[in-house]
Amino acid sequence: MRNRQATQLLFELSRPGLAAVQLPECDVPRRPVDELIPAAAVAAAPPPLPELSEPDVTRHFVNLSTQNMSVDTHFYPLGSCTMKYNPKRNERIASMPGFAGLHPYQPDASVQGMLEVLFLGQQMLAEIAGLPAVSLQPAAGAHGELTALLTAAAYFRDTGQARTTVLLPDQAHGTNPASATVAGFQTSQVKSNAQGLVDLDDLAAKLDDRTAVFMITNPNTLGLFDGQIRRIAELVHDVGGLVYLDGANMNAIMGIARPGDFGADMMHYNPHKTFSGPHGGGGPGAGPIAVIEKLAPYLPSPLVVRDGDGYRLDFDRPKSIGRVRTFFGNTGVLLRMVCYLLTHGGEGLRRVSENAVLNANYLLSRVKHFLPVPHGDRCMHEFVASGSKLKSQRGVATMDVAKRLLDRGFHAPTVYFPLIVPEAMMIEPTETENKATLDAFAEALFRIVEEPDDVLHEAPHTTLVSRPDEVQAARNPILKWTPNS
């Protein structure tokens, strides 16, 4: 019976009347499809629709899916920042009907389970941050930055302080200055010193009574923990500014160091990075923020609060900056985050960070012998190697090495970031990889560096499409396929 209803529903949904939604035309240049897809991958004749067997269709799509690298099929040294392993248990829990079937307009009384999950999430994030007040609303890390800066701006306005400038280290992630600008602040860069840490003299020289916020990623984008952080916070607080911690690298310090304890006044988390939310293709994510007590009244509304034996959404927050996201944020991502946190527990989270740091240091100790690592002999959860010698001596670019890794069964690490390292390769193995995998990766990288230049310039050799035109793909994406173009 159920089956018949489902079939009926699918049938209804597939009626032509419903499908005939007109999408707006895309204003992009069209190129014939056979110019874009290699001849070997284009069928000689159209499939004999609709008479195709299910196995044929299944095989077609499964085979297509294996053309991609994924974290389930290959090692991805992109790390927590991009592609940490996503435990399957989170997906099973998130697809349980009691969660997956919820509607955002349901009254609080009928979603007590989900509200409890979110409340628990707020509490656990507060504990890990060492900061008392949490909003789960922002939709991504960058959105968390913006929300926290708007929260800080509301606080400054409310307390009559005219503070206009956000300071950032020169290795900051691009979203930091972008968020500061969108929030209406001016930005100013602080230099890094020779060790790749904040140059304290330069910071001190740039701080004054117009300083609103100093944004810092710690551990930083070079994979180094800035041990001067307490002194940095002191300097910022002395002029009345606030310290913002970009929490994208929390994978290295969970359960070991709390931002609130080392001087941060506000921070964001990236649950889709640190807490293993799946985010292939750029989304969805979440960007919860945690702040000190005096900023709490300005956080977005609503927050989840305990009410007697139950939970409710609290909208009665007169100083709040208001909503920054529809409904309650990306609850599916937040639910997976809570699964991950409960699965590990406090001790487990600490072990995640310890193993992430151990794995990165093991790989660093192998890679540095054939690819220079300019900053430091020890790292946190990631390290940045430089291909600048390969480039200057042989004309081999970091991009060539990255592409050749595909032929050897590895996804490339993050390349050309941070900008302060020439020909950068940012390598982050994460905590879930074993020694054999790390050894195989180090070996592949070593062999690649020894290979003839032309093999590298033309890599990858084993993938269906070799090197797409990335500039064209970013600037002029072809979003729609038209059969006759």
Ligand X SMILES: *Cc1c(COP(=O)(O)O)cnc(C)c1O
Q: Which stretch binds ligand X (CB under 6 A): 136-144, 335-343, 400-408, 433-441?
A: 136-144
Question: Which residue in 354, 355, 358, 417 sits closest to 384, CA to CA?
Answer: 417
Tell me the CA distances in angstroms from 26 to 157, 272, 468, 479, 484, one per residue in order: 42, 30, 21, 7, 16
Does residue 142 touch ligand X according to CB under 6 A?
yes
Kindly tell me which of 81 and 449 has the beta carbon lying closer to ligand X.
Answer: 81
Phi (first) and psi of residue 180, to 5 degrees: -60, -40
Q: Which stretch binds ligand X (CB under 6 A): 20-28, 139-147, 191-199, 418-426?
A: 139-147
Does residue 217 touch ligand X according to CB under 6 A?
yes
Question: Which residue in 432, 339, 274, 278 sits closest to 90, CA to CA?
Answer: 339
Does residue 296 touch ligand X according to CB under 6 A?
no
Kindly tell me which of 165 and 218 has the beta carbon lying closer to ligand X.
Answer: 218
Does residue 141 touch ligand X according to CB under 6 A?
yes
Tell me the CA distances in angstroms from 264 to 187, 246, 259, 323, one per residue in order: 19, 10, 5, 24
Q: How many binding residues for ligand X (CB under 6 A)?
A: 13
Does residue 287 touch ligand X according to CB under 6 A?
yes
Question: Which residue in 479, 484, 483, 485 sits closest to 25, CA to CA?
Answer: 479
| 269 contacts 136 by C-beta, under 8 angstroms | no
Does residue 245 touch ligand X according to CB under 6 A?
no
- Min CB(173)–ligand X separation in Å: 3
Q: Which stretch binds ligand X (CB under 6 A): 113-121, 134-142, 206-214, 397-405?
A: 134-142
R_g (Cα) of the chain, nearest Å: 25
Kindly tell me which of 192 and 270 has the beta carbon lying closer to ligand X.
Answer: 270
- Min CB(104)–ligand X separation in Å: 22
Kindly tell me which of 81 and 396 has the beta carbon lying closer to ligand X.
Answer: 81
At 437, is the secondary structure helix, strand, or coil? helix
Q: Which stretch binds ligand X (CB under 6 A): 99-107, 124-132, 135-143, 438-446?
A: 135-143
Kindly tell me which of 94 and 146 has the beta carbon lying closer to ligand X.
Answer: 146
What is the strand order of the sheet 424-427 is part of? 383-386, 424-427, 414-415
- Min CB(101)–ligand X separation in Å: 27
Here the tokens at position 426 are 């940012």
Phi (first) and psi of residue 389, to 5 degrees: -70, -45
Measured between its terminal Cα atoms, the distance across the chain in Å is: 45
- Min CB(279)–ligand X separation in Å: 8
Residue choice 131, 140, 243, 405 for contact with ligand X (CB under 6 A): 140
246 to 275, contacts with ligand X by CB under 6 A?
246, 248, 270
| 230 contacts 259 by C-beta, under 8 angstroms | no
Please report the DSSP string for 164-178 in residue order: -EEEEETT--THHHH
- One symbol per residue from 363 to 392: x for binding ligand X (CB under 6 A), - otherwise; what is it? ------------------------------
Here the tokens at position 146 are 């913006």
22 to 81, contacts with ligand X by CB under 6 A?
81
Q: How far apart are CA 155 and CA 150, in angstroms?
A: 9
Does residue 175 touch ligand X according to CB under 6 A?
yes
Residue nearest to ligand X (CB): 141
Helix (H) or strand (E) holding 35: helix 33-36
Q: Give the interface with ligand X as residue ranges (CB under 6 A).
A: 81, 140-142, 173, 175, 217, 221, 246, 248, 270, 285, 287
